[in-house]
Amino acid sequence: MLASAATAVKRKVPSLRSSFPFFWTCVNHFNVYAEYIGMTIPVKFARKHFPAKVKGEEKIEVLLKNEERQTWELGVITTPNQYLFSKGWKMFATDNNLKIGDFLNFELIDRLPDAKFVMNFHIYRIPVIFEDDSDEE
């Protein structure tokens, strides 16, 4: 059932849109259970919307917000080929009870004067989305 539910989510993802720059990702073991957990940000998105590091000095900080206006402050680690939510991710994952297979949508909605990026996020849990696609009444 999990595989078919994931397929249902993948079918729905392209139909979910935003007027803000956004990306989708799916929670895996590294994001919630590994010793050093984090969440990879798609490189194409990050290079387009986050600043380039200047001699390793610029830090990228993100404020994540949910629909209830709760917030989490995260730091982003960068390498030439990877951007990763790291600092603060473990608390975010725990507070939001993230599970392997959950789909996350991140929308870049603002940049504050202190250079912090503000992103909304939405969690789509596989069983919930799968039930929405059922033909049962």
Q: Is the pTM of this model over 0.85?
A: no
Q: What is the mean pLDDT of the chain?
A: 82
| Right CATH for 2-12+21-132 from 2.60.120.10, 3.40.50.11610, 2.40.330.10, 3.90.960.10 | 2.40.330.10
2-52 pLDDT, tens digit per residue, is: 555 556 655 655 556 678 899 999 999 999 988 888 999 999 999 999 876
41-66 pLDDT, tens digit per residue, is: 999 999 999 876 644 546 789 999 99
Domain ranges of the chain: 2-12+21-132
Residue with tokens 């069983």: 127
| Average of per-residue pLDDT across 76-90 | 91
Q: Residue 87 has which token pair? A: 């600092």
Cα–Cα distance, 81 to 58 (Å, whole number): 16
